[in-house]
Structure 1
């Protein structure tokens, strides 16, 4: 609130002294005063009470145990790198090694170890900064933990970003309902909510708003929850709708992310942004719950489709492997077929050659048979002639032989006569010899 002389200190004092009772008994008054703005002097205390961080001693113990503990060097490097880029123009955070940057480091360093799944993500430092301007680093750590786990901000920074995707889905739906002309224009220009709303939701607008307006939004967020950010998003776009409808793609993004989108609220009443947000009737707990249910149903359907797709992909991979195996087999069969075809062609050529050889041999056999027949005829003729000559010679020889046999018989007979004569002559010679011997003896 611009003038804190009108602060109802009695109410705020009673709230701090007995938060649960007063918050329950005077909830409407609390909501109204929160929308006007929590007094700066007690803002940090009220934030701790709203989040329940003040009554959770375990978180303080965790901070003291983790703040001096060594962390992953890669995370340490990321945190150190972002310190100088967090509210670089703010006096409390601009000095390297100053209390502001040291407090940022302590809280982010401790949280990175406390929540290993999130670790450190860009954007967290812009949430921690406003906390440190209202409380010491230990209390800021405790409130951050509650904001992340109890309020659901952690879902904006998890690797899956499930809650961020849900809020973007809710934003897209209420955007179409609340600002149909502008949503249609953005769609025609190809401007998607992820190009600008994600940053708003992840930093609770702290990246774009001046610090005093950021504090006002934090007041309402701690009182009502993160759904209030959707109202603020629609309200800001509604305030600049006329200007945005005149721009094209790149100028739209420049206007949303770097341009004078929030210029009106910088110079207007500090409560104006909250008042404009409260006028957005499209964002109600019932409507958001309905959208949440639809998102979950669609997410489950997408999950089923993804699982079915994964199953089909797995089956396709199996089929692809089987197909690859079959192709390899086919290739092998093709190679074998090619080899067999080559062998067949070779055999066919060999058969053809053998047929040609057979033809040539048949021709040669036929010629030989013809020649043999001719030779046989000539041989038979010659043989007959020779046989006739031999028969004639044989007849002549037989006749000569007969003549010889007759001559031999005559000769044998003559030889017998000669032998008889020879024997007779021998006998006569022996007689003569004996007579001669007798004569010789007688002569002596």
Structure 2
């Protein structure tokens, strides 16, 4: 993954751990003892630098470096920057003495101010766990893989690199970890111990504007790319037109320049020269170095098309300066870019971002409205499909009803004809039945009359039989009485005969 890719950033907070610590580190104290402690740390660094410079003077030719000038820089860098800026630029073009580079970077950045507090915080952070440790470990071997200091897995270089990046990822949780950061830290560790590198890194992020390159939305990086694009149009319009025609925009090749201060794939001697100037001039000077690269390679750039351009920017853009570090710095200084010009470009970028944000907001509203209308359309289409289906079903039922009604009407007509026919038959039957019924009635009446007469005769006979029966019963009763009398007499006769 290229160094411009952010990874594992934490969501911002209104009062972050980083904000509190930076406020703490940058707070001036009314305590004289505290002020003396700050001055003492800076003075110790200056003394160490002067001792190292004196040793270098004894062991080097006077023509190599202007030792007196660098001694004056160590003594009072602010005076040299304001009073001898031309001489400072010339000596920066020649290069900072390598053995003094780490100490001078600390002096330029004023990293020794409150360094005891920051270093104490750093040591405490090393005992904590960062959520980005796995990502950091995975990228260590890809940071300056050919450099002996970083080659060995779990060696001194990789461990120092891991410690500083891990500590910073905890220290500044809004930044967390970004894959461009190891290249910046890696350059610092080649010139100073890890505690000092952490202090310088904090200064670079908070005072040199590097932090905005690594935050979640990389606001400063996008602003820097916009400034570079406009400056390229201003200083090298032909190159700008060609790249624009090929569809090659600065984010495709320059993002890594600004995020790593050219440390990604650039020869280290050139990188150190860039850092020398950055620590003196500020991080905006990287725009000058970017323009210097574009102008020195102008003819090659104009001869290439899209794929060739991307390959050239990735592999060969530094070849022209590989053996000309002095020319690289001199060419960078040849571009005059005023702070007012940069501020104007920043203002233009802010206005553009605001416009884009507004357009984006309007676009989001339109997209949201479109989604709502699409959902509504889908609901209507679904309802219409259901209504269409219901309509077809109703139409089918209507047709079936009409066919049933026609069939029923025909059956009704048939039934009416049948009923009429039946009515006629009934009337005929009724008439026939009436004639037959009258004859039957007369016959029945006659037979009834006969039966009445027979019944009357039978009733007379019944009366006579009943009379005879009564008479018979009376005779039977008399007979019974006589029988009992005779039976009594017989009994009396038998009893009397028994006595004889």
Which TM-score applies when normalising by structure 2? 0.68
Kept after mapping to 2: 8 A contact 1:204/1:218: yes
Q: Which string of whole-angstrom CA distances, capped at 9 and with x for unpartnered residues, describes residues 329-371 of structure 1?
A: 4444445444434443343333222222223234434555677
Question: How big is the shift at 1:327?
Answer: 4.0
Match of 1:88 in 2: 145
Matched, 1:278 2:333: yes
Q: 1:239 to 1:18 in 2, by over 3 A?
A: closer
CA distance in 2 between counterparts of 1:219 and 1:116 reads 28
> 1:275, 1:219 → 2: CA distance?
13
Are the counterparts in 2 of residues 66 and 110 from structure 1 also a CA contact under 8 Å?
yes
| Aligned length in residues | 382
Judged with a 3 Å threshold, the aligned counterparts in structure 2 of structure 1 residues 379 and 184 are, in CA distance, closer, same or farther, namely same
Cα deviation digits, residues 286-321 of structure 1 (max 9, x gap):
332222111111111111111222223333333344
Unaligned runs of 5+ residues in structure 2 are 1-59, 443-500
The aligned runs of 1:3-402 (5 Å cut-off) are 5=63, 7-57=65-115, 58-72=117-131, 75-259=132-316, 261-268=317-324, 270-281=325-336, 283-365=337-419, 367=421, 375=428
Provide the C-alpha distance between the structure 1 equivalents of 2:328 and 2:153, rounded to a whole number of angstroms.
33
Q: Secondary structure at the match of 1:55?
A: coil
Any idea what SS the aligned residue of 1:232 has? helix
| Unpaired segments ≥5 residues, structure 1 | 394-444
Kindly provide the CA deviation profile for residues 252-294 of structure 1, in whole angstroms up to 9, marking residues without a partner as x.
22221013x22221122x210011122235x443332222111
Whichever of the two has the greater Rg, that structure is: 1
**Which deviates more, 146-155 or 13-22?**
13-22
| In 2, Cα distance between equivalents of 1:41 and 1:330 | 82
Alpha-carbon shift at residue 69 of structure 1 (Å): 2.2
Cα distance in 1 for residues equivalent to 2:121 and 2:148: 29
Partners of 1:175 and 1:183 lie apart in 2 by 6
- How far apart, CA to CA, are the structure 2 residues paired with 1:135 and 1:192? 36
Change (3 A) 1:354 1:56: farther
Give distance in 2, aligned partners of 1:200 and 1:221. Answer: 13
Q: Taking structure 1 as reference, are residues 5 and 69 closer, same or farther at Cα in structure 2, changes over 3 Å only?
A: farther
Whether contact under 8 Å (2:93, 2:327) holds in the other structure is: no
The corresponding residue for 2:38 is none
Q: Distance in 2 between matches of 1:23 and 1:289?
A: 22
- Structure with bigger RCO (C-alpha 8 Å, 6+ apart): 2
Contact 1:199–1:205 (CA<8 Å) still a contact in 2?
Answer: yes
CA distance in 1, matches of 2:79, 2:229: 38
How much is the aligned-residue C-alpha RMSD, in angstroms? 3.2
Structure 1 residue 27: deviation in Å? 4.4
Q: State the 1:214 CA deviation.
A: 0.9
Helix, strand or coil at the partner of 2:178: coil
Q: Equivalents in 1 of 2:245, 2:61: separation in Å? A: 45
- In 1, are the aligned partners of 2:289 and 2:329 still within 8 Å (CA)? yes
Secondary structure, in 3 states, of the residue corresponding to 1:118? coil
For residues 285 and 224 of structure 2, the distance between their equivalents in structure 1, rounded to whole angstroms, comes to 11
Question: Quick check: 303-312 or 325-334, which moved more?
Answer: 325-334
In structure 2, the CA distance between the partners of 1:55 and 1:19, relative to structure 1 (3 Å rule), is farther
- Distance in 2 of aligned mates of 1:369 and 1:325: 63
Cα deviation, residue 41, structure 1: 2.9
Question: Distance in 2 between the 1:354 and 1:4 partners?
Answer: 127
Return the offset for 1:178. Answer: 2.4
TM-score by length of 1: 0.76
Deviation of 1:138 after TM superposition, in Å, equals 0.8
Decide whether aligned partners of structure 1 residues 98 and 189 sit closer, same or farther in structure 2, where only a CA change above 3 A counts.
Answer: same
1:156 and 1:193 mapped to 2: Cα distance? 15
Q: 1:220 to 1:372 in 2, by over 3 A?
A: same
Change (3 A) 1:254 1:363: same
Q: Name the CA distance, whole Å, in 2 between partners of 1:12 and 1:356.
A: 123
